[in-house]
Structure 1
Amino acid sequence: MIDNRYVICMKWGTKYGAEYVNRLYNMVKRHLTLDFQMVCLTDDSTGIDDNVKCYPIPALNLPDNIPERGWKKLTTFKPKLYDLKGTALFLDIDIVIIDNIDCFFTHQAQFDDSVMIIRDWKKPWRMVGNSSVYRFKVGQNTYPNLLSYFEQNFEKIRGEVRHEQAFLSNYLREHHHLEYWDSSWCVSFKYHCLQKIPMAYFVPPKKPIGAKIVIFHGEINPPDAIAGGGGKWYRHVLPSEWIKDAWR
């Protein structure tokens, strides 16, 4: 029985430096008591901690002149992803872990081919998963046609959805199973931590009780949350000391 555990992240371009990967590795190491191998799929491994195993990001077979960046995560579903074989937890590199995350590996899904994912906070009725945190079987041919279907039907798909997580959610619900994490485990910094105007000008963002991972999506990243600033006027951000303590 394959019981390898991987924590996989992805870094490309220049928006996020190696420190994001290294801080993520440090947070996982502090908050995961189970054995794991950290993996980074990247176009530049310079400066990444030696404890993180780096591989090139697999190429997508898309038409010429189509930017891959918005779809790259789908390559984690290659039937054979290098020598990885086991259970994988994908984490975006700009998340902040604030509590033990063993449950993301120990939680029992209802079906063997289920992908566990965050349920969208803003429009939960759409049943779209937020792919900042998802668990799947890697290198076991569990989803053999997912990537090939995407590549062969790309023009149709990009006319129907805006991003990879919408395609992934739709495909898995139709061909496999999509299940959602406990809603308290993964929270949005901008929806669940920021104070509303005008209190945001006087009270710093709150640390969510019971949460394990804070997701940063949109214009605010962890350094913005630590220093203050980075948000739109209706999302004023005061410095967050608890983010500073966690993001290291």
Structure 2
Amino acid sequence: MVNVICMKWGHKYGPEYVNRLFNMVQRNLRLEHRFVCLTDNSTGLDARIETFPIPDLPISLSGPERGWKKLTTFGKSLHDLSGTTLFLDVDIIITGSLDEFFTEVGDVLIIKEWNARHGKGNSSVYRFTIGAHADVLSNFAQNFEIIRSNYRNEQAYLADYLDKKGALRFWPDVWVRSFKRHCMHYFPKSLFVPPTLPADTRVLIFHGYPLPDQAIVGETGKWYRTARPATWISTYWY
């Protein structure tokens, strides 16, 4: 038995994002698994989804949240979950098999960040063993002010800390792609050619804007960025 978990808080993403993620996992993961959403509001979620509260951070946050809540998955325990666990952001699209995400060799696996200025890793998709690296969270609690001043967000800290421990590995590049970086075209090609999905992509991440529902209709979320509708998204995202 393996675990697939996600996290939803606040108002940016509605329950439909989690429900679609659940459906995509069911279509693309053959391994026996639990699907769990850590959330502050379970209203509207599919009844088949297990839900638990998001664990409290061991410190009081002030200022921008920056995804720090995700570090609570690295506590000594996580509700009644145990073992190998795949974390997925709720705004990703699954386009291929997830089975190998559980067999790929490595301690903690994460996406290699495409922009080195933003750190070493992107935590939209990461695999870990519950309780195996509780020091990620305890170190964060003990050194939060220093960490917040040195790292842009949770994933920058997470990847750098684990890399220094020798515990970090990256997913094969072709498995996880960025919609903005690998599907959208540069101007003026973007005016005429719709975004295209690279071959062998298994997970497509949407960091920043556009979000999947915007990309389907050709919205980019930025005035300076143009794109044709990526209607093919709807064949995966449901």
How high is the TM-score relative to the length of structure 2? Answer: 0.95
Preserved CA contact (<8 Å) 2:119 2:156: no
Describe the SS at the equivalent of 2:69.
helix
Describe the SS at the equivalent of 1:182.
coil
Describe the SS at the equivalent of 1:20.
helix
Matched ranges for 1:171-210 at <5 A:
171-210=161-200
**Whole-angstrom CA distance in 1 between matches of 2:166 and 2:47:** 36
Matched ranges for 1:1-248 at <5 A:
4-63=1-60, 65-66=62-63, 68=65, 70-109=67-106, 114-123=107-116, 128-138=120-130, 141-248=131-238
- 1:54-102 deviation per Cα after TM superposition (whole angstroms, max 9, x unaligned): 0000111223645545201000001111110011000000000111111
User: What amino acid sits opposite 1:229 in the alignment?
Assistant: E
Return structure 1 stretches of 4+ with deviation > 4 angstroms: 66-69
Describe the SS at the equivalent of 1:235.
coil
CA shift, 1:231, in A, is: 3.6
Preserved CA contact (<8 Å) 1:20 1:93: yes
**Whole-angstrom CA distance in 1 between matches of 2:160 and 2:120:** 7
Preserved CA contact (<8 Å) 1:115 1:134: yes
Alpha carbons of structure 1 residues 122 and 65: separation in structure 2 relative to 1, 3 Å? closer
**Whole-angstrom CA distance in 2 between matches of 1:157 and 1:135:** 22
Preserved CA contact (<8 Å) 2:55 2:72: yes
How high is the TM-score relative to the length of structure 1? Answer: 0.91
Structure 1: tracts of 5 or more residues without a match: none
Give aligned pairs, total: 238
Describe the SS at the equivalent of 2:67.
helix
- 1:3-58 deviation per Cα after TM superposition (whole angstroms, max 9, x unaligned): x3011000000110000000000001111111111000000000111111100001
Deviates further, 169-178 or 36-45: 169-178
Describe the SS at the equivalent of 1:107.
coil
CA shift, 1:238, in A, is: 1.3
Describe the SS at the equivalent of 1:106.
coil
**Whole-angstrom CA distance in 2 between matches of 1:62 and 1:229:** 38
**Whole-angstrom CA distance in 1 between matches of 2:50 and 2:166:** 29
**Whole-angstrom CA distance in 2 between matches of 1:87 and 1:59:** 22
Preserved CA contact (<8 Å) 2:85 2:127: yes
Preserved CA contact (<8 Å) 1:190 1:235: no
